[in-house]
Structure 1
């Protein structure tokens, strides 16, 4: 158990009270992850702060795109590295060529039934433009200087909660260069809590 700067006597008191150190002293949430967004399957709110300390791949997706087979690569990446602290967050969007026309329930069924997607997926949202844009995408565009040019644009956030790099639609998530960059980020220690 990491106790950080919590005095040992306080740790003992917390344990006697039935609280964990994590419950007593929650880690600060990086500003980039400080968003609560609806989950795809049931639109229940998910606080992205729960992904703090992980390498986060943020990707805008679509069911009827030439890049849609990247779901398979994204799932393979997630499956290979989730135990080392990687998470993929999918954000369906109908912004490019109207290639994601279905409801959230239809998109969820497609992802699960066609590609066996297990990584977290969020409700459809707008990922480009000036009005009604997903707040995470607004921040990522501002920080990186790049907005998605098409479906399956990838942003990667390091364990420290800061933007690390982005990759366009043509970059396969299981491609050597992308995997090497992800592995480099995974090798970095998780920030102290």
Structure 2
């Protein structure tokens, strides 16, 4: 009887570990195959002729149309710089630089991928719409309350993600995550 119990326990541990590691490898955190820079994660093999197996599995799980490698690269942040999940009850401050790109756009999305911009707004903000600091960096606020400088107005409640898409960029061409300059994401206040 003890042998059967031990066998079942080992089977449960093996299956739990296998499925758990598979879920982590294929999740949006990009544990394997992802490019990390602070809270930002991108999948640089998306759009290549032969993506690695983890990128292929991520694409199959997402079931979304992706940009080709020469078209651009999408970074997603689901947490702020301290690792706390983004919440629509809070206002966030993005600042700094982005990798060189012809154009980039930023949108706030709910977990299902629906744009959270307030009705009547453009729904996104692009690099061609920003006022910049003297050194070329930018300051951008994301939230439901009007803020100075650049502002992306969002509405709703609950968790969300930021999607920063770089068009016509060489950001992932042989660079490590330490070499990619991405904007910082800082929580300012929560209501």
Query: Normalising to structure 1: TM-score of the pair?
Result: 0.28
Higher helix share: 1
What is the TM-score when the length of structure 2 is the normalising length? 0.29
